[in-house]
Each structure stands twice: as structure tokens, then as C-alpha cells.
Structure 1
């Protein structure tokens, strides 16, 4: 499939939209449902900022930045597709794109993002997040993994080429 990374982005958008809709319509703000004791809960939460709640109430800033990032992701994905990039990289870009657009829609429509996955590690509560956030994190991890693998392979290829050149000069 030629444009599977856009299908990945659309799947993320649909799942993100549906889960946020369920949270908004079935739970009141602050309601919690235990999934695994106090360790994992579904919590109706709103975030008017970014990760970890930073930059609260900076809606215009987030909208502008997200438009730039989405445009850059689409451009970069097309460039990478044409160069024959590994599906791992393109899948990562699709996940980040879908997640970015999912949270963008919330910010543009409501001025806040619906978050609902809550994990507690002892006395430390991890920031509450959603499907879009998860897709972004997994996508970035795939992009970093691809970069590491590609860089390592290029280093090996360069070393082989250098070694071969040295043997030919002897």
C-alpha cells in the first residue's frame, strides 16, 4: 500500500476521537473508573496545556505550532517516501501525524484536550494522557529507532567501503 502511513494517521484519529467522545459523554469531569486497582484508572480530565500541563491556556500558540508541525510532517513524510525510507520510519511519522491532528482538533474546538489514561506508581501519579499522546510517543520512538538503525547501518557500510578501498590500494 503506497500511502499506508496516512491510513495509520486516520486510524489514530478515529480511535482518538471515539475514545474522547465516550469519555466526554459517559463520565463527568473528574470521574474515575478503576481498571487495575489504584494503579490504572480511566479518568475524565481536561488539559489546557501541553505535556505535564505546561503552558496552560496557550491555545493560539498550540494551534499555530501544531499547524506548522503537521505541515512539516506531511512534507517530510513525502520526502522520505520518495527516498525509499523504511516502513518503520513512515509508520512512526503516521502515528505522530495522527496524534498531532487528534489533539489539534480538541484544542481548536474546545480550547482543551480530553485526557483519560491515568497511571499511579506508588505515591507518584504519572500525567494523564490519551490515545493521541500515546500515538505521538510510540511514533517518536519508532522514528528514533529507525534513526539509530539507519545510522548504524550507514556506519557499517562506510567502514566496509573504507576497508575495501584500503585493500585495493595495497
Structure 2
């Protein structure tokens, strides 16, 4: 009896904090996208600094406008991928809820993925508006959901590096 209790306690904890992080990402992402669509004209750069603009555009594809010129099937494929990723992440959060860095990373990724899923369901495409550039180099426009996904991925790498280092 005591053995099964200790296994359960070490393998899981409440989903609430991790789902809360995802919800915060989704809320900030959606609020900024609503503000951008109300304040900025489409495809018109608003210069903020010598290396940053607000630039409201739509992206029908994925990262770096991958498949943005496809016939429309990509909307549903990327929506399904985002929902599937969220399901896998919830499963991982349940199994590893006591691993704080790992779960925080997954929560950021899930919040970002679902923020973009909402765009695809509501608008048929993702709203992007953060535009960085330097000299002749130009980064594709992105949004807060994309930023959360990248931050979450970086935290996953950091978590794995810490885990590998600790195993030595």
C-alpha cells in the first residue's frame, strides 16, 4: 500500500499551475492580437526602433510562412497538429507534474500552440505582428504565441541539459 502511494506522489501533481500558465499565454496572445487588429492597418509597418516594427499580417502557414501558399488544407492540418500537441502535453503534465522546469516549458508551448489554433479556427489564419530586422536581415513576423513556443522549447533544452549534467 505504501509503495503504490509513493509512486503516485512522485509521478504526478496538480495540473492547475501548468494549465494556468497556458491560459495566461493564450489570454495575452489573444488580447494583443485583438489590439493589433483594432489599432494597426494591415501590412503597414509602424516603426518603433531601428530594428523593430509592428507589422500586422496574416500567416496561413506555419513557422516562417511554411506552406502559406498551399490550397487551404494546411489550416486544418495545423489546427489538428496543435490540438494533438496539446493533448500529448496534458498527458506529459499529468505524468511529470513535479518536474517544474519541464512542465513550465510544456505549458508555454501548449499555450502558444492553442493561441495559434484559436486564430486558425476564428480567422482561418494566424495573426502576426512582431517584426524584427537589422540591416538587410529580416526575421519573419511572429506573435506572442510563437514567442511562448520558442521560449518553451528553449526551456526544454535547458531542462534536458540539466538532467544530462545531473546524471554524470
Q: TM-score range by the shorter chain?
A: 0.7 to 0.9
18, 35, 40: which one aligns with 1:5: 18
Task: Give the CA deviation at 1:95.
Answer: 0.4
State whether structure 2 residue 160 is matched by structure 1 residue 147: yes
Deviations for 1:72-125, whole angstroms, at most 9, x for unmatched residues? 1111111111xx32x111111110010000000001111110000000121011
Give 4+ residue runs of structure 1 displaced > 4 Å after superposition: none
Aligned residue number for residue 131 of structure 2: 118
- Give the match for residue 138 of structure 1: 151
Whole-angstrom CA distance in 1 between matches of 2:44 and 2:121: 24
Q: Partner of 1:145: helix, strand, or coil? A: helix
Q: Distance in 2 between matches of 1:63 and 1:100?
A: 9
Distance in 2, Cα, partners of 1:91 & 1:11:
12
Instruction: Tell me by how many angstroms 1:10 deviates.
Output: 0.8
Q: Calculate the TM-score normalised by the size of structure 2.
A: 0.86
Partner of 1:101: 114
How many residues are treated as equivalent by the alignment?
151
What is the TM-score with the length of structure 1 in the denominator? 0.85
Moved more, 53-62 or 15-24: 53-62
Unmatched 5+ stretches in structure 1: 157-170
RMSD: 1.3
- Unaligned runs of at least 5 residues, structure 2: 1-12
Question: In 2, distance between residues paired with 1:4 and 1:67?
Answer: 20
Structure whose alpha-carbon radius of gyration is higher = 1
Q: Summarize the alignment of residues 35-114 of structure 1 with structure 2, pairs less than 5 Å apart.
A: 35-37=48-50, 39-56=51-68, 57=72, 58-81=74-97, 84-85=98-99, 87-114=100-127
Match of 1:165 in 2: none
| C-alpha separation in 1, matches of 2:115 and 2:81 | 14
Partners of 2:33 and 2:110 in 1: CA distance: 18
